[in-house]
Amino acid sequence: MDLAGKNVVYLGGFGGIGQKCVQELLRRQLKALAVFDLTENAEALAEWRTGTPGTDIFYQQVDITKKEDIEAAYNATAERLGHFDVVVNGSGLMNDRLVELTIQINLLGVIQSTLTALEYMDKSKGGRGGLIVNISSVAGLQPTALMAIYSAAKTGTTSFTRSMANPIYFAHSGVSFVTICPGFTETPLLDDISSKTTFTYHTPMLDMFNRVRRQKPEDCARNLVQAMEQAKNGAVLMLELGETQEIDIPDFWKPQIE
């Protein structure tokens, strides 16, 4: 997909990975960029607007745990722009001590945002089609015991996004789906891991996690925006240490038809 002239919605655009993605996206001559996030970062917004006067950049307050916030933000964005071409669900929280919130932000929020966006994008409902990118994690590819709740939520996001990419759905909606699974990336999400693990007792996994190599958010962002340009429906992409690897997840169950 050529991003020039496109309207993009980015959820979590003020986060560590989000800000770097926005900077990368703004080099593509977007028509408009809507940043949905919990709190406004006026400084970042002002800098982006000054640096990219040709792009309509605006903020919508969204608490992704609130369906009504999500609906209001998409509604306001559709009224302002007419349509949007790309949505990135990039909000996130890693804190297994907050069980409900971890599921709400990392899984339920992604589902609600996706279903709401489809109301506007789905060709069978009068939309123009497009691309939805959901940010999962390497913890959404394999069990990650140190953060079992986060891993469960991210695995849900991977599976939900792959399901949405079903060719039968695509034939109706014209909306492609890509799952992004970053490895450890240097952002506030990883601050103070020991206070956010599933259990309070010390495990050797914590020592190992504290020593895992981390990629720079700008390297993750560059590959993420390239994945948006490739827009390969159904792709699951691991973004690890500045590289992109497409992950082939096999079907284990083959239904036996009567």
State which residue, 29 or 244, has the beta carbon closest to ligand NAD: 244
Residue 23 interacts with ligand NAD (CB under 6 A): yes or no: no
Tell me the C-alpha distance between 237 and 227, whole Å.
8
Write down the catalytic residue from 74, 120, 150, 201.
Answer: 150
Instruction: Determine the interface stretch with ligand NAD among 25-33, 49-57, 188-196, 224-232 (rule: CB under 6 A).
Output: 188-196
State which residue, 63 or 96, has the beta carbon closest to ligand NAD: 63
Residue 18 interacts with ligand NAD (CB under 6 A): yes or no: yes
Q: Which residues pair with 59 in a beta bridge?
A: 35
Sorted by sequence, the CB contacts under 8 Å of residue 52 that are 6+ apart come out as 26, 30
Residue 181 beta carbon to ligand NAD: minimum distance, rounded to whole angstroms: 7
Residue indicated by tokens 């996690």? 209
CA atoms within 13 A on the CB side of 103: 6
Residue 219 interacts with ligand NAD (CB under 6 A): yes or no: no
Is 169 among the catalytic positions? Answer: no
State which residue, 109 or 127, has the beta carbon closest to ligand NAD: 109
Nearest to 223 by CA among 133, 163, 156, 144: 133
The binding track of 98-127 with respect to ligand NAD, each residue x by CB under 6 A or -, is -------x----------------------
* Subset of 43-72 contacting ligand NAD (CB under 6 A): 62-65
Residue 187 interacts with ligand NAD (CB under 6 A): yes or no: yes
Q: Is the dihedral of CA 219, 224, 230, 234 positive or negative?
A: positive
Cα dihedral: 7, 13, 19, 24 (round 10): -20
Sorted by sequence, the CB contacts under 8 Å of residue 19 that are 6+ apart come out as 13, 41, 44, 217
* Subset of 132-171 contacting ligand NAD (CB under 6 A): 135, 137
Which residues here bind ligand NAD, judged by CB under 6 A? 12, 14-18, 37-38, 62-65, 90-93, 105, 135, 137, 182, 184-185, 187-190
Catalytic positions, written as ranges: 150
